[in-house]
Chains A and B, each alone.
Chain A
Amino acid sequence: MSGLGVVEMPSALPAACFLIPILAGFAVLAGGRLGFRWCQLVTMLASGAMALSALDMASQAWTGTILTTWGNELRVDALSALVVLIVSVVGVLASAYSIRYMEHAAAAEGPGPGTRAQRMPLFHALVLWFLGTMAWAAVTNNIIMLWAAVEATTLSSGLLVAFFWDRRALEAGYKYMMLLTVGITFALFGCVLVYAAAAATGGLTGHDALLISEVRGVAAAIPSGTALIAVSMLLIGFGTKAGLAPFHPWLPDAHAEAPTPVSVLLSGVMIKVALYALARTVSIFFPQIPAITVFAVGMGVFTMLLGVVLALVQEDLKRLLAYSSVSQMGYILAGVALGTYLGAYGGLFHLLNHALFKSLLFMCVGAVVYATGTRRIGELGGLAREMPVTSACFLVGALAIAGFPPFNGFMSKLTIYLALAQSGLWWAVAVAVFTSVLTMVALLRPAVRVFWAAPAAEVARAAPVREVPALMWGPMVVLAALCLLLGLAPELAYGLLHNAALLLGGAGG
């Protein structure tokens, strides 16, 4: 159980980090009549408390401590702590960002049940539940509950995607719910099969066969035919949720049509949680079926290339970012799926980095929408003068995602290239480097068009364009600073990533 010489310690933190936002969601609904301020206050307090508990857990995981709750039902090792940290840090920044953004959105009228203002308590409650269920997925050690938590993230975010309730939002919301639910039903079959196979080995008694940490111990006794079926089911199920090609078509619709703070959470966090679920379950079988790794690396390479090619032809800024998320998920998968220490380290580092710069980029585009009312590249231009902070932040995000030094994306991509080369997969290195060049074109070209090129002549705006309020650019500046900091000093995340990579990549590798 503690093969790496780690210390296990009972703690209430794993339970607190997901129960606080879930209970706070009910508090928001109960006090909905108290107005916007109540909803915003509770959301900020709950996501802040969640972030504090995540920081505490991360610092303990840094030293190799594993926190457990309710027996071994919840279990936070370095990998879980990393994911909870991403969920809560992006969560608290997105919550702060959403205050002014959603007030602005609520002032406009739109279709749907009640006015937008009347739906605001529901918005905040759903955001809190979304954060809570994502944290729950990261901390649970029970394979069926992992499935339940991942499905719960779909349920809590489905109505958020469709929040504006117009034709576009409804179409995106319907596709999102339908495709993800069908996909996730496959994952349920896979999870049940893992449990049944683990129970049938006879090495575990009753309830223990549900616990992922215990199943690892008996994985070698599971027949490889059964393991292969389970892995395929998990790959389809959690892969759909993670936006991996060819299961990605829901992603651009949902990530583009959701209100921007929700896009931040979907693209910045949720697809990572799904990839975490995939890595957590499939990695059980890495030692037994090495062929999985080659297949998954191939899938990752296909995803990164397809995503960026589709991103190149987008005219809508949010869709462009969404397709670029598909592409970046390919990098993460290619790294994590290698099954080596270096690959896992690079993949997880990129997972952390992508959460930072993709959240940043979505917030910047949200700021552009807030200020100008449009997100079509052709209708924008020359915004750098009026919006200096937003344009600088977007540039940082674009350079980071394209892998420019000294930003964080450079470090993690370099690690992934090295890991692929170390495993002898030179074709994958070539595609990954090529994709990185295309990513630069895909992101920097619209950045120049929107912020520095002369505006299209026929655009006449009703109101003068101004920089967004501090509550919106504040989170953006924080994220941009983190992108630079992790690029200059990547050792700041070393302890956490090192322990997490050991879990996925075997000892030393």
Chain B
Amino acid sequence: MNALPISEELVRTLSMTVVITSVLTVELRRLKLSAVAYVAQALLIVALLVSYARVNHALYWWAGTALVTKAVLIPWFLFRYIRRTQEMEVPPLVGFGPSVIVAAVLMTGFFRLTHSQVDLLAPSALAQAEVFRTNLAVASTVFVLGLYSLLTRRDAVKLVIALCLLENGVHLSLVSLAPGLPETALFGIASEVVVTVFILLYVIEGVYREFGTTDTFRLRELQR
């Protein structure tokens, strides 16, 4: 319960950078750069987990799992498939300018909302105490940015990256909500995400070969 050994300043800086990398991941149009922003976020999450682990030693396992799955395996798949399909994202529904504004509003608004209303989301005293409170707000902000991206993008690979953001949000929230979660459960969650991303990209490569594009709006064969 004691959050003292953690440097609040460090956690806050890392957390804010995580939010910024989410916006970059959503907004960057060159898919490789977007994936690089995703890797940066993954490494920041690992750093966050390590700093939380000074309170809760089980989190060292989490940090290791996150490093292998989020910072190594998923980016590896992403880069592999981006090379085989197309480099530039299919233009999204919302133009760059408006999209950045929406993302910024979502980011600040949702962060403030969840930070002030944490007790609704998190029933435990630990999650309501500081650093874990900030962490939960960051987690839900990353989740919402991922959701925004899923709703407005039309490039299949970009949607997979958005899905990863969504998942990062849930993963971060676990630190505040469920620090006692056994490693087996955590490992199960993390490995399923890796398999999901792999299968999705495998199918998307098939889609690219058959349809000649990764634009999901052109997948209209079944509506006839």
Chain A residues near B (Cβ < 8 Å): 111-112, 142, 144-145, 147-148, 151-152, 154-155, 158-159, 162, 165-168, 170-175, 177-178, 181-182, 185, 188-189, 192-193, 195-197, 199-201, 206-207, 209-210, 222-223, 225-226, 229, 253, 256-257
Interchain CB contact (< 8 A) of A167 among B127, B178, B202, B210: B210
| A171 and B207 form a contact (CB under 8 A) | yes
| The 6 nearest A-B residue pairs measured at CB | A200-B124, A196-B177, A200-B123, A144-B185, A171-B219, A197-B123
Neighbouring A residues of B216 by C-beta, 8 Å? 174
| B121 and A193 form a contact (CB under 8 A) | yes
How far is the CB of A189 from the nearest CB of chain B, in Å?
5
A148 to B216 Cα, complex, angstroms:
27
| A174 and B163 form a contact (CB under 8 A) | no
| B222 and A181 form a contact (CB under 8 A) | no
* Cβ-based interface call for B150 (8 A): yes
Q: A148-B185, A151-B192, A200-B125 are in contact. List 9 more A-B contacts (CB 8 A).
A: A151-B196, A155-B192, A158-B199, A158-B203, A167-B211, A174-B219, A185-B166, A195-B177, A222-B123
- Contacts A145-B188, A177-B196; A162 near B206 (Cβ below 8 A): yes
Chain B residue, CB-CB nearest to A201: B123
* Cβ-based interface call for B221 (8 A): yes
Interchain CB contact (< 8 A) of B188 among A144, A165, A189, A200: A144
| A165 and B206 form a contact (CB under 8 A) | yes
Chain A residue, CB-CB nearest to B191: A148
Neighbouring A residues of B170 by C-beta, 8 Å? 185, 188-189, 192
| A174 and B189 form a contact (CB under 8 A) | no
| B123 and A192 form a contact (CB under 8 A) | no
Interchain CB contact (< 8 A) of B127 among A185, A196, A257: A196
| B210 and A166 form a contact (CB under 8 A) | yes
How far is the CB of A317 from the nearest CB of chain B, in Å?
15
Number of residues in B with C-beta < 8 Å to the partner? 41
A165 to B192 Cα, complex, angstroms:
23
Interchain CB contact (< 8 A) of B120 among A166, A172, A229: A229
**Scoring B residues 204 to 224 as 1 if CB is less than 8 Å from chain A, else 0, what string do you get?**
101100110000100101100
A209 to B177 Cα, complex, angstroms:
12
How far is the CB of A412 from the nearest CB of chain B, in Å?
31
Chain A residue, CB-CB nearest to B143: A189
* Cβ-based interface call for B156 (8 A): yes
* Cβ-based interface call for B35 (8 A): no
* Cβ-based interface call for B195 (8 A): yes
How far is the CB of A319 from the nearest CB of chain B, in Å?
9
**Scoring B residues 93 to 133 as 1 if CB is less than 8 Å from chain A, else 0, what string do you get?**
00000000000000000000000000011111101000000
| A196 and B199 form a contact (CB under 8 A) | no
**Scoring B residues 161 to 205 as 1 if CB is less than 8 Å from chain A, else 0, what string do you get?**
001001100100110011011100100110010011001101110
Interchain CB contact (< 8 A) of A174 among B125, B150, B204: B204
15 contacts between A and B (CB under 8 A): A144-B185, A151-B196, A159-B199, A167-B210, A177-B199, A178-B156, A178-B200, A185-B166, A185-B170, A189-B143, A189-B173, A196-B122, A226-B120, A229-B120, A229-B121
Neighbouring A residues of B182 by C-beta, 8 Å? 207, 210
A253 to B182 Cα, complex, angstroms:
37
| A196 and B123 form a contact (CB under 8 A) | yes
- Contacts A167-B211, A171-B219, A177-B199; A192 near B150 (Cβ below 8 A): no
* Cβ-based interface call for B159 (8 A): yes
Neighbouring B residues of A253 by C-beta, 8 Å? 222
Neighbouring B residues of A174 by C-beta, 8 Å? 156, 200, 203-204, 207, 216, 219
| B156 and A206 form a contact (CB under 8 A) | no
Interchain CB contact (< 8 A) of A172 among B121, B143, B192, B222: B222
| A196 and B124 form a contact (CB under 8 A) | yes
| B121 and A195 form a contact (CB under 8 A) | no
A170 to B120 Cα, complex, angstroms:
41
A200 to B196 Cα, complex, angstroms:
31
Neighbouring B residues of A229 by C-beta, 8 Å? 120-121
Chain B residue, CB-CB nearest to A144: B185
How far is the CB of A73 from the nearest CB of chain B, in Å?
10
Neighbouring A residues of B120 by C-beta, 8 Å? 225-226, 229
A326 to B178 Cα, complex, angstroms:
35
A177 to B202 Cα, complex, angstroms:
11
A421 to B7 Cα, complex, angstroms:
60
How far is the CB of A227 from the nearest CB of chain B, in Å?
9
Neighbouring B residues of A206 by C-beta, 8 Å? 180
| A155 and B150 form a contact (CB under 8 A) | no
A199 to B199 Cα, complex, angstroms:
34
Interchain CB contact (< 8 A) of B181 among A165, A166, A195: A195
Neighbouring B residues of A112 by C-beta, 8 Å? 206
Neighbouring A residues of B143 by C-beta, 8 Å? 189
| B185 and A145 form a contact (CB under 8 A) | yes
Interchain CB contact (< 8 A) of A171 among B177, B195, B222: B222
A147 to B192 Cα, complex, angstroms:
11
A111 to B202 Cα, complex, angstroms:
14
A207 to B192 Cα, complex, angstroms:
21
A199 to B211 Cα, complex, angstroms:
49
Interchain CB contact (< 8 A) of B124 among A154, A188, A199: A199
| B163 and A182 form a contact (CB under 8 A) | yes
A482 to B219 Cα, complex, angstroms:
40
Neighbouring A residues of B159 by C-beta, 8 Å? 178
A192 to B178 Cα, complex, angstroms:
7
* Residue of B150, B167, B207, B222 most packed against chain A (CB within 10 A): B222
| B150 and A182 form a contact (CB under 8 A) | yes
Neighbouring B residues of A155 by C-beta, 8 Å? 192, 195-196, 199
| A177 and B174 form a contact (CB under 8 A) | no
